[in-house]
Amino acid sequence: MTIPFRYILRSFGARRLTTAMTALGVALVVFVFAAVLMMANGIRQTLRATGSDENVLVLRKAANSETLSVLDREVAVLVTGMPEVARSATGAPLASRESVVIINMEKLAGGMSNVTVRGVEPPAFELRPQVRLVAGRPFRWGAREIIVAASIARRFAGAAIGARIRFAGGVWTVVGVFEAGGSGFDSEIWGDSTQIMDAFKRSSYSTLTLRLRDPEAFPAFVSAWGSDNRLLHYDAKIESRFFEEQSEMMAAFIRILGLFITTIFSAGATIGAMITMYGAVAGRTVEIGTMRALGFQRRSILAAFLGEALLLALIGGGFGLALASLLQFLTISTLNFASFSELAFSFSLSPSIAAAALGFALAMGLVGGFLPAFRAARLDIVGALRAV
């Protein structure tokens, strides 16, 4: 089967405006499609980066977020005393008993939003090496001082160094700004766990984060855990897996909603491609008759016009994907469904998303171009040559 490839390429120049408009329609749909997938992937990557494969998170059973967990002091002491828990250079357990609460803060852009406040113990910074101070100084243990994530300092009023934030009936001084490598900690405020528990009048922790002597010994740790009746109401999870689970519901919701909207948009783009190709067939009836008279078979004509539609869709899809890739330079925030607090994240493009976006564009081209191509292939030679 001989396909007139030169004819396909030359036809783009003959209908510049309609070709450009159709490609632009496909590009916009692909842009939305890719942006939705990149948003869901960005949330997943952000929460996945929050945890470490080397850390273990202890929390109340059935608690799907740290804010809903309650961990008794006695249990925290019991767990940190287990022989599998790693020790620091001083011999103390490498573990941080933490209190996680939500406060309301005013955004610089207007409106209020929930922000996570995490009370930590000194080992927390060794357990989370991605958290590093970029301005100011660390908070003092035993004082009502806090450090805020850089994204919080940029987006919320009164969160700069030296500012005083009022919550839990007290005033807290911002003494430093930190970054956390694009993880969920980039949307938090950190302070002394004891001070935060006293301020909120809590007698129990929220969670316990620890490190094992040997990360490969986690199954043995869980086995020893299950044999102690005092721990029946608590779970021990790999920290990275816990935060990854938090992202699943939110990412799924964004994908479903986004794909629904994209499907509606794609119908318009597909119809536009179909109209363009029908117009191309109507305007080139004589040319089609000439190719048939020169010996090109019906299937060659079908392949030519279908190839033109696919190439048009691929160009539009590539342009839309290129635009979507620029979103990776943006950082936005949304509400984390699991914790009901602010979560800052970046769009994340992956090879699978790029392949899916281009495949989606080709699917639109195939659907929009098949019927016009089929009509072109079915034209009668004599009737086509007489159409002047």
**pLDDT tens digits, one per residue of 208-247:** 999 998 888 888 888 888 888 888 899 999 998 888 887 7
pLDDT at position 182? 87
Sequence-separated (6 or more) residues with CB below 8 Å from residue 338: 64, 65, 246, 249, 250
Q: Is the pLDDT higher at 7 or at 144?
A: 144
The mean predicted confidence, pLDDT, of the chain is: 83
Instruction: Place 384 in a pLDDT band, splitting at 50, 70 and 90.
Output: very low
Helix (H/G/I), strand (E/B), else coil: 381: helix
Q: Say if CB 85 and CB 210 are below 8 A apart.
A: yes
Backbone torsions φ then ψ of 146, nearest 5 degrees: -140, 160
**Residue 90: pLDDT above 80?**
yes
Q: Is 112 exposed, middle or buried (0-12, 13-18, 19+ CB in 10 A)?
A: exposed
**Residue 275: pLDDT above 50?**
yes
CA distance 169 to 9: 71
Instruction: Place 139 in a pLDDT band, splitting at 50, 70 and 90.
Output: very high
pLDDT at position 2? 54
**Residue 368: pLDDT above 80?**
no
pLDDT at position 160? 93
Backbone torsions φ then ψ of 369, nearest 5 degrees: -100, -15
Mean pLDDT of all residues in 113-123: 94
**pLDDT tens digits, one per residue of 245-273:** 877 777 777 778 777 777 777 777 777 76
**Residue 123: pLDDT above 90?**
yes
pLDDT at position 15? 65
Mean pLDDT of all residues in 106-133: 92
pLDDT at position 296? 62
Percentage with pLDDT > 90 across the chain: 38
Percentage with pLDDT > 70 across the chain: 82
**Residue 379: pLDDT above 70?**
no
Which one-letter amino acid corresponds to residue 123? P
**pLDDT tens digits, one per residue of 34-63:** 888 888 888 888 888 888 888 999 999 988
Domain spans of the chain, in order of start:
5-48+246-386, 62-232
Structure tokens given for 85 = 């828990």
Structure tokens given for 259 = 């794909």
pTM: 0.79
Q: Is 314 exposed, middle or buried (0-12, 13-18, 19+ CB in 10 A)?
A: middle
